[in-house]
Amino acid sequence: MIKPHGSDKLNPLFVSDETKRKKLITEAESLPSIVISSAAAANAVMLGSGYFNPLTGYMNAADALSTAEKMHTTGGLFFPVPILNMVHDTAAISGAKRIALRDPNVDGNPVLAIQDVEAIEEITAEQKELITKQVFGTLDSEHPGVVTFNALGNFLVSGPISVLNLSYFETDFPGTFRTAYRIREEIAAAGWEKVVAFQTRNPMHRAHEELCKMAKEAVDADGILIHMLLGKLKKGDIPADVRDASIRKMVEIYFPANTVLITGYGFDMLYAGPKEAALHAVFRQNCGCTHLIVGRDHAGVGSYYGPFDAQAIFEKDVPDDALEIEIFKADHTAYSKKLNKVVMMSRVENHGKEDFVFLSGTKVREMLTAGEPLPPEFARPEVAEILGKHYRSQA
């Protein structure tokens, strides 16, 4: 199986030894504590799950700036975005060397992790602006990732962490949430050597379904990892439970048995386009995938990024030796009326726009809310029915 990023063995930060974990939970109750942001909590879950291997905790200011500008830490480790615990107020942990991090997303704010504090640093407005610009490619206050990042505070609390639970993801998505180490175990148990990962924060329509099948065939993969984001999204995105149900129904009916793992990961969407695509590659390598599908507008939002910027970053900015995972580059896919199948639009000849089945997101929502069937060339009817129930319940 493909090696994890940056080490020979995956090193998840979740404390799996029950005796040790209980001891740390007890210790945490006597430590200075702070309720962290949802973004920092998601980082803790990803660190605990092994997705951010080989990091041992939150980055300091020097590593944050180096990672944002150069995509590597001061020690030379390739990492596409800073992994931070940013807070507004440090009064509750001032002078502490060991603190408890409390979960903002679970009632009662239980302890999520214990952190050994190496430094508490206040970054300047100029430094925060630099990180914002480098990660998101814009300072626009309308960009959802920029809005979230700029609301996190200006103090960086850096140092290694021990993760004591995986937040709400295990309880809310028991059949879907997976750690990187669990996915590696499942891939090994299936006997798969080549695995194609498909990233999604949306339901999967016909084009997505066929893209996964195209990629699997093109690289001669043994299986497909459908890996959906389960954390915080922007307003208007489809809730994770609805996405999960629709994807499961699609795979059940339209994919051969034992060729797909349907899983999810506990992270809040960044909407960082190219930089987030590179991060996706890092943590898909960590869960054992050999290939990642990177398509049009991957991890993008609005018109902040070019349609293929997320592919270009692997050609221009990611060093050749940084990652072992390979990128499967995909163009926009759509149903061809001429060929009666889903195709990559750039790879077919003698086609005009009128030869493809297109529906805007707005039109899809309108039709589903009104109870109108979507064209079968665009969406499987079983998937459309699940999505329609959601939209009608919101009307």
Q: Which residues are catalytic?
A: 201-202
Exposure b/e, 8-37, CB count within 10 A at least 16 = b: eebbbbbbeeeeebeebbeebeebebbebb
Angle, CA 281 vertex, CA 216 and CA 65 arms, to 5°: 170
Separation CA 358–CA 4 (nearest Å): 39
CB 4 within 8 A of CB 53: yes
CB 112 within 8 A of CB 102: yes
- Asked if residue 4 has a cis previous peptide bond (ω within 30° of 0), the answer is no
How far does CA 307 lie from the centroid of its chain? 19
Give me the phi and psi of 252, to 5 degrees please.
Answer: -55, -40
CB 72 within 8 A of CB 66: yes
Structure tokens given for 113 = 């992790």
Q: CB 175: neighbour CB atoms within 10 A? A: 10
Neighbouring-strand partners of residue 120: 157
CB 388 within 8 A of CB 368: yes
Handedness of CA 47, 48, 54, 56 (dihedral sign): positive
Burial category of 343 from C-beta neighbours within 10 Å (exposed 0-12, middle 13-18, buried 19 and up): buried
Separation CA 238–CA 203 (nearest Å): 7
